[in-house]
Copies of this chain bind each other. A is one copy, B any other.
Amino acid sequence: MAQRILNFVGGAWTDSSAEVKQNVSNPALGKVIGEVVMTPQEQVARAAETGHKAYQEWRKVPVTDRIQYLFKFKQLLEANIDEIAKTITNEAGKTYKESVAEMRRGIENVEVAIGTPILMQGYNNEDIASGIDEHMFRQPLGVVAAITPFNFPGMIPLWFMPYALATGNCFILKPSEKVPMTSVKMFELLEQAGFPKGVVQLVNGGKEVVDAILDHPYIKAISFVGSTPVAKYIYSRATANGKRAQCQGGAKNPVVIMPDADMDTTTRIMADSAFGCAGQRCLAASVAITVGEARNVFTEQIADAAASRVVGYGLDEKAQMGPVIDARSKSRIEQIIADGEKSGNANVLVDGRGKSVSGYDDGYWVFPTILENVNPESELARTEIFGPVLSLMHANTIEDAIQLVNNRAYGNMACIFTTSGYYARKFRNEADAGNVGVNIGVAAPMAFFPFSGWNESFFGDLHGQGRHGIEFFTQTKVVVERWPQEWSRQF
């Protein structure tokens, strides 16, 4: 029977009388496993008001006490990682191992946010002029909200939540309506961790909930991760309402393969990057640019790797890759491949369309796909496919390769494989991307570094994670003080 997904507002699990609901499916089974309510606007408002009220007390709780809740939350996440990982696999499709890895990256953010007492410190100078001191203090904003995507239902909320809470804000999460169950699991643990009522809340739904969040005056800051068009929409609407916003969009991540790279290792890493999580991550390698002699050998080997990757149900131990998120996504990806082929902008070297996993015939399967000779000027070369599809291009020199890398709207990740210190330095210095890998397939910043998308992959200035998280969720208050001697009372 399908689970009914509730909201968590004011410290209680609340159902909604709303009539609009939406199904949640297991993408490997192609079967409905839950039902999520589309929260009406007035209930979003109630969450904002509840958060606003809770904030009046929460901001006064000493930061050393606030982080104790995060210590408990970390323990609970670790103790329940198996159950959460299974939930992720069931609603998002990725393999169990990928789900566990996702949670570990999420937990790292809880660990970093535990350092908030130092990270939140302001600064000061004595005697900026004779007898006048100046201080900067960091204070929280109030209620803040995150709107998160389907592909990392466990990790991405944790890019924001721990920092927001530790710095003294109240936090509202609106997860993707495709994967609401992971959030429910995490909020059960937040409840156990004992956060005061209203400090951390969950509201489910789609665009109407998003708009209600963007427009509510009590909500001071918006963190978003999703596609670029939606990121732009949210950045624009949140800022038009005077809020601060950090909006992470899509990607098309190029990887340059120099001929001096070890091809066996490079291929293995590239296959993991391109096909891991069925290509549904904003740091998936989606374009491989071979330089010089690297072309033939890499093409051959990556084609083999693509063809031999084991696709299956994520809870099956042998599965190396799961399905894509839903039927619409499957047909969109297949259409892009077909259009690319038809237009002559690519050859389909390995074709992942029209295949199925035995015993899971209703799953949303797209198998690893390799597109060869992709025309760098084509629409295909620029579109984020968000599926297990790797496009191959070629360049004669490192300079040409970097030009291909920089000739795109996105700027989330760019990687290079080489043994040469010179190529590596030139690439990291010149590539227009905020997350750069050297002999790395998925250049995901640790939680103590900002997740640094550039260009159309990010709108805002302060990113998620680490120090940026602390800065985004606090405002600076400068105090200039003078204590004139002549004012002091006499005895």
A residues within 8 Å of B by Cβ?
60, 62-64, 67, 71, 74-75, 108, 111-112, 114-115, 117-130, 132-137, 139, 232, 235-236, 239-240, 242, 244-245, 259-262, 265, 291-293, 418-426, 428-429, 433-440, 443-446, 448-452, 454, 456, 459-463, 466-468, 471-472, 475-489, 491
Q: Within the complex, which residue of B74, B239, B265, B489 is in contact with A484, where a contact is CB–CB below 8 Å?
A: B265
User: Given A425-B133, A483-B439 in contact, is the A125-B475 Cβ separation under 8 Å?
Assistant: no
Query: For the complex, what is the distance from the CA of A471 to the CA of B428, rounded to whole Å?
Result: 20
Find out whether the CB atom of B480 lies under 8 angstroms from the CB atom of A436.
yes
Q: Which residues of B contact A429 (CB under 8 A)?
A: 126-127
Query: For the complex, what is the distance from the CA of A129 to the CA of B63, rounded to whole Å?
Result: 8
Find out whether the CB atom of B64 lies under 8 angstroms from the CB atom of A446.
yes
Q: Which residues of B contact A422 (CB under 8 A)?
A: 419, 483-485, 487-488
A–B complex contacts, Cβ < 8 Å, 23 sampled: A60-B130, A63-B128, A67-B111, A71-B71, A71-B74, A117-B125, A121-B448, A126-B139, A136-B449, A239-B245, A262-B486, A262-B487, A265-B486, A419-B483, A419-B489, A421-B424, A426-B483, A436-B477, A438-B482, A439-B482, A439-B483, A440-B482, A462-B471
Query: For the complex, what is the distance from the CA of A163 to the CA of B56, rounded to whole Å?
Result: 35
User: Given A62-B127, A242-B235, A421-B421 in contact, is the A440-B488 Cβ separation under 8 Å?
Assistant: no
Query: For the complex, what is the distance from the CA of A468 to the CA of B475, rounded to whole Å?
Result: 12
Query: For the complex, what is the distance from the CA of A443 to the CA of B444, rounded to whole Å?
Result: 31
Q: Which residues of B contact A424 (CB under 8 A)?
A: 421, 481, 483
Q: Which residues of B contact A488 (CB under 8 A)?
A: 419-420, 422-423
Q: Which residues of B contact A135 (CB under 8 A)?
A: 124, 135
Q: Within the complex, which residue of B60, B124, B489 is in contact with A420, where a contact is CB–CB below 8 Å?
A: B489
A422-B484, A422-B487 are known; give 15 further A-B pairs, CB within 8 A.
A63-B127, A111-B117, A112-B118, A114-B114, A126-B137, A126-B429, A128-B446, A134-B445, A239-B459, A240-B240, A265-B486, A419-B487, A428-B481, A445-B478, A460-B461
